[in-house]
Amino acid sequence: MNTIITVEFILYCFFVLGVGYLFSRKEMDHASFLLGGKKIPGWVLAFSERATGESAWLLLGYTGFVFATGLSGVWVAVGITLGIVFAWLFLAKRFMKEAEEHQIMTLPGYLAKRFGSHGKIILWMSTILIVSFMMFYFGAQIAGAGKTLFTVLNINPTTGAILSVAIVIVLSYLGGFTSVVWTDMIQSLMMLATLVILPIVALFHIQAADLSISEALASAGPAMDSWTGGVTGFALGLLLFNNFAWFFGFLGGQPQLSARFMALKNEKEAKTASRVAIIWTILAYGGAFMIGLTALTLYQGQGFADVETILPFMVLDLLPPWIAGLLLSGILAAIISTADSQLLVITSSVSEDIFNNALNKKLTEKQLVMISRITIITAGLLGLGIALTSDSLVYLVVSWAWAGVGCTLSPAIILTFLWKRYSGIGVMATILSGFISTVLWISTPLEAIISSRFTTFFIAAFFGIVFSLLFPAKENSKVTEDTGMTTESIS
């Protein structure tokens, strides 16, 4: 592998660790460690939210998906983009206000505070749901990092995974949420540069070689040049809907994303952040879509053992080494930015939701920060073990994660925000039905027909509404003795 690329990868790793060290020099209380103390600029939070929301799946998975499916792959981008736009325009400010009003730092903590008479049960259920899925999701990111380093630098995948988890642990341990967000901002810019520059370069090569994207699509297969995948009727509806169903996971239920909304300082910062996030999304998904199409045009007829290697292959093929090293670092940036945020979600679930709230331990700020740091190390090592020993299980559970967490908790958040009759029993029904339906649906052939991203959301919402009507909340504004949480009048 080219020495220049190797050196740039090493410099990138030292850079993110340096940022972590910079923020570790500041004294932090528990709130600052987990949520930044509302001192982070909105535009930085927006870049961080986008880097966190888009792992290597965008750079590797989606580009490969478009390469394999053609024009119909655009509907995935449409669903995701609309979900992100909706979240930033209609949910971000509400999360910011609710976090300040209820003095909460986590998604489970918010639901528990809003439904205080059932707060402890909701806290345990939502925390177990999040930690269960996020632990394996984190392990998958580490496994992906190992494979990326093997592909680009020919480093043994095990060694690559160990190096990657070490960076993530150190980064999260030193500066907590603040260091993660600021490094995410840099990594988000690196990802965007990769997704914008590469298709532009590819288009120049296509023009120079007098190639045609439309002709390449037509020759690649009868459905490749069709925006509908060559299907009609009911099959067309399923294709569009299954791809669009990513939308439902962005409606407030992803804890690593909602944490960025909670950290916003004021409405002015929220407006700035919304603009940045929406522009980033349009540029990034537009670029990823074009990478898939231009790759299909440049390498038509050429076989790839794994279509998810299209992007790094193009970078190495079309660009000089010093630029290639910078853009390939964007792939590692995508993985690390998602992994460190997932690790912090797990950490906040343990230190804030379990120790500070569910168990009601009377701990000092320093003790809570220390528990968070111990959790970071423990969860990081456990994630490494999962990455090294359970590869097939990791990627199976990752396919559950979007539905199991995002599409389960999203209806809980939407109903809490919009429906005054939503009750604590309804929240518990939402979480339990979402978890069970995800596991059952994705374990059957039904998943191949219609995505669990859709079924989980609506099943969870349905049971939440039904059980709220059957077991309405009692008007009660007192602080319950068992949880210490305020029950609001929501009936």
Which is more confidently placed, 109 or 306? Answer: 109
Q: How far is it, in rounded angstroms, from Cα 87 to Cα 79? A: 12
φ, ψ of residue 445 to 5 degrees: the values are -65, -10
Residue 478 — pLDDT band, cuts 50, 70, 90?
very low
Look at residue 455 and tell me if it is in a domain.
Answer: no
- Please check whether residue 381 lies inside any domain of the structure: yes
What's the mean pLDDT in 174-180?
78
Handedness of CA 239, 242, 246, 252 (dihedral sign): positive
What tokens were used for 102? 């209820």
CA gap 2, 350 in Å, rounded: 43
How confident is the model over 227-283, as pLDDT tens digits?
887 777 767 777 777 777 788 888 888 888 898 999 998 999 999 999 999 999 999
Residue 359 lies in a domain: yes
Q: What is the pLDDT of residue 485?
A: 46
Torsion-angle region of residue 236: left (phi > 0), alpha (psi -120 to 50) or beta? alpha
Residue 147 lies in a domain: yes
Residue 483: pLDDT band by 50, 70, 90 thresholds? very low
pLDDT of residue 137: 79
The SS3 call for residue 437 is helix
pLDDT bracket for residue 329 (50, 70, 90): confident
At position 234, the amino acid (one-letter code) is: F
Q: What Rg, from alpha-carbon coordinates, does the chain have?
A: 22
CB 220 within 8 A of CB 228: no
Q: What are the start-end ranges of the E strands in 102-201?
A: none
Q: What angle do CA 326, 332, 335 make, to 5 degrees?
A: 145
Average pLDDT in the chain: 83
SS3 letters for 123-180? HHHHHHHHHHHHHHHHHHHHHHHHHHHHHHHCCCHHHHHHHHHHHHHHHHHHHHHHHH
335 or 67, which is more confident:
67
d(CA 175, CA 177): 7
Q: Does any domain span residue 447?
A: no
Kindly tell me the sign of the dihedral angle through the C-alpha atoms of 437, 54, 178, 376. Answer: positive
Domain that residue 283 falls in: 3-392
**What is the SS3 assignment for 299?**
coil
Angle between helices 391-401 and 424-442 (to 10 degrees): 130
Structure token pair of residue 338: 């998602």
pLDDT of residue 23: 67
> How many domains does one find in the chain?
1
Instruction: Using pLDDT thresholds of 50, 70 and 90, give the confidence band for residue 68.
Output: confident
What backbone torsions phi and psi does residue 243 show, to the nearest 5 degrees?
-70, -40
Tell me the mean pLDDT in the region 410-417. Answer: 94
The neighbouring-strand residues paired with 115 are: 487
Q: How many CA atoms lie within 13 A of 353 on its CB side?
A: 30
> Does residue 11 register a pLDDT over 90?
no
> What CATH number does residue 212 fall under?
1.20.1730.10
Measured between alpha carbons, how far is 333 from 9 in angstroms, rounded to an integer?
Answer: 10
Residue 490 reports pLDDT greater than 70: no
Structure tokens at 247: 């939308």
DSSP 198-239: HHHHHHHHHHHTT--HHHHHHHH-TTTT-TTTT--HHHHHHH
Residue 476 lies in a domain: no
Spatial distance between the Cα atoms of 186 and 48, rounded to a whole number of angstroms = 8
Give the CA distances from residue 85 to residues 112, 254, 412, 419, in Å, rounded to whole numbers and listed in that order: 27, 15, 19, 22
Between vectors from CA 127 to CA 410 and to CA 146, what angle results, nearest 5°? Answer: 90
**Is residue 476 within 8 Å of 407, Cβ to Cβ?**
no
Q: How many residues does the chain have?
A: 491
Distance between CA 253 and CA 210 in Å, rounded?
47
460: CB partners within 8 A, 6+ apart? 407, 408, 411, 412, 430, 431, 433, 434, 437
Q: What is the pLDDT of residue 25?
A: 61
